[in-house]
């Protein structure tokens, strides 16, 4: 599809399900032409060959469809120069590539920002990832001397503004015959930090909730939605359930999820001053969402990437470490983490294979340092060491 010079333009890295079904849908509905950037050549070709695709929202009250148009797609591996020019003239750059891929997309974004005319307003860069401070992480890579000459950092805010965000929408595994169409839940939340846009208006994107203090939203989402979803998946995998819905029909797994979210709710309400009843209602809503039978989310898909999910700032160790430091209960989070440590050599998941290697070749203390980023001075450290010892002993028995 040819570029339209009369519309606003957004470049989005990651043309997968979240990119097409969530972020691009919001951008499209807000009047942006979307330029997808991805390394998957077949996907890029499919997008360029099709003038539209459907986003299908499913919920207990039925299904709604919308049609996405006015997009183009660029292979970021083979057409870097074209992509640099698109970034240099875009109003918005977003991404949903996974936290571990941010360092790989940073160089081309840096080149696009560097080429940007100061006559244009600064481009808004917003990472849409399941990670705390993902845009800050991306900005660090972009501003690294390998990607941006130090002398070009002076007045950088005239060319780019970086805003952290919290996104919340469950996008399950898709029907392999669906083509470009994306099925996802109706519920969504996209909260973005307004403070980087001092002296200018933030981008006009319908559906974004602009806030001055993002951390409560990020932690509430990560420590409720992602903690709950992963807890159900890991316990479900160990108990041989096929989907998260199936797992949550099991009363024991239901109870594990409930207790894990009680742990995190205690942290969230005390740390951020969120009303206990409001958090209780939020938890109930989240459990209903992840129990949605229409999403048919396989436990293997939700559990994938256990190394990332067991890391220091993630859904189990992050809240558990804070709770432990204050002498608060984190036992259900540790139970879920143990199930994550047992998520090894799962077909199609490289991190689960890497986890198995780490567990097989390291002392428990070294596993905890390497995987969880904990140190011996932290109160949580010995508790996680015990878990690793137990999982390693069971593996040897097998």
Dig out the tokens for 103 from the structure: 């360092």
Q: What are the distances in angstroms from CA 268 to CA 127, 188, 243, 256? A: 23, 20, 28, 18
- Chain position carrying tokens 């015959």: 177
Dig out the tokens for 234 from the structure: 């890991």
Q: What are the distances in angstroms from CA 61 to CA 170, 186, 266, 294, 300? A: 16, 10, 32, 11, 27
221 is catalytic: yes
Instruction: Find all residues with CB under 8 Å of 226, minimum gap 6, and list them.
Output: 130, 314, 315
DSSP strand E in 23-79: where?
Answer: 32-38, 53-59, 62-68, 71-75
Of these residues, 9, 111, 143, 221, which one is catalytic? 221
DSSP 208-238: EEEES--HHHHHHHIIIIIHHHHHHHHHHHH
Q: Which helix (H) or strand (E) holds 113?
A: helix 102-114
| Rounded CA separation 42/44 (Å) | 5
| Rounded CA separation 42/38 (Å) | 10
Which are the catalytic amino acids?
A: 221
């Amino acid at each position: 599809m040819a570029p339209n010079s009369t519309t606003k333009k957004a470049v989005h890295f990651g043309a997968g399900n979240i990119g097409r079904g969530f972020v691009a849908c919001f951008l499209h509905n807000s009047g942006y032409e979307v330029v997808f950037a991805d390394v998957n050549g077949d996907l890029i070709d499919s997008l360029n060959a099709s003038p539209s695709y459907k986003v299908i929202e499913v919920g207990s009250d039925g299904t709604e469809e919308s049609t996405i148009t006015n997009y183009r797609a660029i292979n970021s591996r083979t057409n870097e120069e074209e992509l640099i020019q698109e970034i240099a003239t875009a109003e918005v750059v977003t991404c949903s590539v996974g936290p571990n891929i941010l360092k790989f997309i940073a160089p081309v974004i840096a080149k696009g920002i560097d080429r940007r005319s100061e006559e244009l307003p600064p481009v808004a860069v917003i990472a849409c990832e399941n990670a705390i401070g993902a845009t800050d992480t991306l900005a660090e890579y972009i501003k690294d001397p390998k990607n941006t000459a130090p002398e070009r950092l002076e007045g950088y805010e005239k060319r780019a503004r970086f805003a952290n965000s919290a996104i919340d929408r469950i996008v399950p595994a898709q029907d392999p015959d669906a083509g470009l169409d994306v099925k996802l839940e109706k519920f969504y939340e996209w909260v973005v930090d307004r403070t980087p846009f001092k002296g200018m208006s933030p981008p006009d994107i319908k559906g974004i909730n602009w806030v001055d203090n993002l951390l409560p939203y990020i932690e509430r989402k990560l420590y409720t939605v992602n903690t709950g979803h992963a807890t159900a998946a890991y316990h479900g995998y160990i108990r041989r359930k096929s989907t998260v819905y199936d797992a949550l029909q099991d009363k024991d797994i239901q109870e594990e999820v409930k207790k894990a979210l009680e742990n995190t709710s205690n942290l969230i309400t005390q740390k951020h001053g969120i009303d206990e009843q409001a958090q209780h209602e939020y938890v109930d809503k989240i459990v209903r969402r992840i129990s949605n039978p229409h999403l048919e989310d396989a436990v293997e898909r939700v559990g994938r990437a256990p190394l990332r999910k067991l890391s220091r700032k993630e859904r189990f160790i992050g809240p558990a470490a804070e709770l432990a430091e204050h002498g608060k209960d984190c036992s259900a989070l540790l139970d879920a983490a143990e199930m994550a440590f047992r998520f090894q050599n799962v077909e199609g998941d490289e991190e689960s294979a890497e986890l198995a290697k780490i567990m097989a070749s390291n002392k428990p203390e070294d596993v905890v340092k390497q995987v969880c980023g904990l140190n011996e001075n932290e109160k949580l450290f010995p508790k996680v060491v015990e878990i690793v010892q137990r999982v390693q002993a069971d593996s040897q028995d097998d």
